[in-house]
Structure formats: structure tokens, C-alpha cells
Amino acid sequence: MNDLIIRNYEETKEEILVDVDKDSFVVDWQKNETWEVSFKVTKTDRNRKAFDIADYESIIIWQGQHYVIKQLKSYAVGEQLFKEVVATHIYYTVQDGFQYTEKTGTLSITQCLQHIFSSGARGFSYEVIDPKNKFLKVEQENFGKNNYLKLIEEVLDDYDAVIVQNNKHLKFYPTADYGEKTNEQIRYKYNTDNVQFDIDTFDLKTQIKGFGKQKEESEGGAYYFTPITYTSPQAEKWGIRIQDPVEDERYTQAGNMLARLKKDIHDYPSISGSTTLKWTVDLSKGDYVAFIYEPLSINTWIQVVGITEYPMIPNKPPEIILSNTKKTMTSIIKQLLKKG
């Protein structure tokens, strides 16, 4: 269903919103960062009721997903009235909840989520998708005392997780299990389509050391486990390049720290870029594309971490952002803008 629905905040009125400027209608998604729709609409005889419903905190419904109007600009040109709307996915209203209590201990991702929503679900539900048991327990200290959104962001970082939202139902996946590998590939500088990529080895490291929790002075002050040094197999190719150590008192088990080091080591060139390539198959959120760059002998997978779609413009392909880095989408976009 591709009708654009507008519903008032009180949920007592609902209309189909027509006469939207199709060129302005954009759906923007960025992994673990944002999801929003934006558009401009002109008041006409056909959409008079719907136009008036479009106000702060009203609900936009597009392809089954609900978005809340958070930014609104109303203006007139002569006798013609216009509104420019930015509506954020309803998931982000999770920030309106607050967990005042704190929890300390060795916790699973499920226990952290249970603690977050124990102050009230606010209409949200969640599930953890981890059939291979990749999520490890993490030593948490004073987890809580923040709004739900910030606590979920902590969970995503601490447990290396990805969140997938279906309105107010949230699914949490291990990052390694999120996304499908496609049959497509990009050969840097040999692709005939519009592809722009940045590659750098500035942060490439091959060795990292991890320090866990120290015992109390009464126990001798030693670490719960001997600090661990992890050396990547890539050291054979690039030599020993030492990354800043991990110092995290939440860790009391050597195995958990080793898993953290293997996750944190940046033993590959950073790749990020954008494309408007017309793929033979549709790329979806989180999908992986083969990336080949002969000068650095790179043959790896890079992930779709951002999609900007123009669904009201026929045959206009989406703009895709791909990356193999752990940078936030904000930093990737800023980097691309600087070099654009």
C-alpha cells in the first residue's frame, strides 16, 4: 500500500494526504542512527482536511511504518499555503521513557533490555534474535539512570548489536548476523556506474591489548585475569601495528575480553562510499556487497549502512551508502561531504 496517511496526535482523525511534491518526498534510513521521511505539501481543495491535520506530533503512515512529525515549516507564497514536514520513525519516541534505577553485574543483552523497559513498556515490545548464541554477557556497572533511547544505544555498543524496528516492535541481532550477502560486486575505479569510494589505512592496526577489572587492594590489587594481547593474522602482511588498548573494568573473564579484542581490532583498510548504481537486484538494509580493489589486494564485503529513497519518483534509484567501518553514519556522511 503506497498511500500516504496522515493521522492526528489524538488519533481521532485520519486522511490520505495527496498533492505532495513528489520530488521532495524522501525516505532516509541510516543503520542504528536514524529513520525519517520528509516532504513538501501544498494546500489544495483535494487535501484541505489532510493538510490541516499535518501538525507537530501528528502521525505519518507510509508503507506500514509510523513516523511522528517533529519538524514543520508552514509558509505562504501569495495565497498559496505550503508545509515542509520532517517525520521521525516512531521508534525514536522510546526516548520519552526513563529508567531511574541502576543495575550492576554480569548481564546478558536480554537482562539489560528487561531492565530498560521495567519502568514501563510504553507500547514497545522486543526480541533478541541470536540462534548461534553470539551475544556474550558483559560486566555492567550502574546501567540505567537515563532515557530509554540512550540506554538502548549503550546496549548496541556494549553487545555489538543491530536494532531492526517494525514500528514499536524491536529486534536485536548480533552485528555479524545482520544482512544478506548479495551476488553483486564493485571493482573500484573499474565500475562504469556512478560509484565514489574512500579507502584509507590510517587506522589499520594488527595488535591490541586488553586490561580487565582489578581486584581490591585487600586482594592484592592484581587483575582478575592476566592482561591479554591479541595479534591479528593480518600482522603477517602488515607487520605489528599496535592499537590503543582496551581498559574496561566490566570484564572479569579472559574469554570475554578476547572476544572483545577480536571485535575491536581494526585490522583492515577503512572503506566507505556512496553509489546510485542501478542494481540488477534490490539492495536492502544491511546487505553486503563484494568490494574488490586490486592495488591493496582487497577482496572483502562492505555493508549497506544507509539508504536514501525517492519512492514517488518513478525509476529513480536509491542513493546507497556502504561501509566496512565502525564509524557512526554521521561521521561517514561528514567525510563524504568534505570530499564531494
| Domains in the chain: boundaries | 5-90, 97-177, 181-202+268-339, 207-264
d(CA 109, CA 128): 8
250: cell is 566490566
241: cell is 601495528
- The CATH number, out of the four listed (3.40.50.1110, 3.40.50.620, 3.55.50.40, 3.10.20.30), of the domain defined by the range 97-177: 3.55.50.40
* All residues at 6 or more sequence positions from 192 whose CB lies less than 8 Å from its CB, including other chains: none
> Which phi and psi angles does 237 have, rounded to 5°?
-90, -45
Report the pLDDT value the prediction gives residue 292, as an integer from 0 to 100: 79
Report the pLDDT value the prediction gives residue 138, as an integer from 0 to 100: 85
10: cell is 489524538
Paired with 128 in beta bridges are 172
127: cell is 526480541
Task: Assess contact for 89 and 124: CB atoms under 8 A.
Answer: no
49: cell is 482536511
Cα radius of gyration (the chain): 23
Report the pLDDT value the prediction gives residue 1, as an integer from 0 to 100: 54
Report the pLDDT value the prediction gives residue 334, as an integer from 0 to 100: 45
**Is pTM beyond 0.75 here?**
yes
Closest CA to 174 of 232, 131, 111, 124: 131
The CATH number of 5-90 is 2.40.30
Closest CA to 136 of 100, 182, 180, 175: 175
pLDDT tens string for the chain (340 positions)? 579 999 999 999 999 999 999 999 999 998 878 899 999 999 999 999 999 999 999 999 999 999 999 999 999 999 899 999 999 999 999 999 999 999 998 899 999 999 999 999 999 999 999 998 889 888 888 999 999 999 999 999 889 899 999 999 999 999 888 888 888 777 766 653 556 677 788 889 999 999 998 888 767 778 899 999 999 999 999 999 999 999 988 788 898 899 889 988 999 888 777 766 555 456 788 888 888 777 767 777 888 888 888 989 887 878 888 887 755 444 444 444 454 4
Block residue for cell numbers 575480553: 257
d(CA 105, CA 213): 13
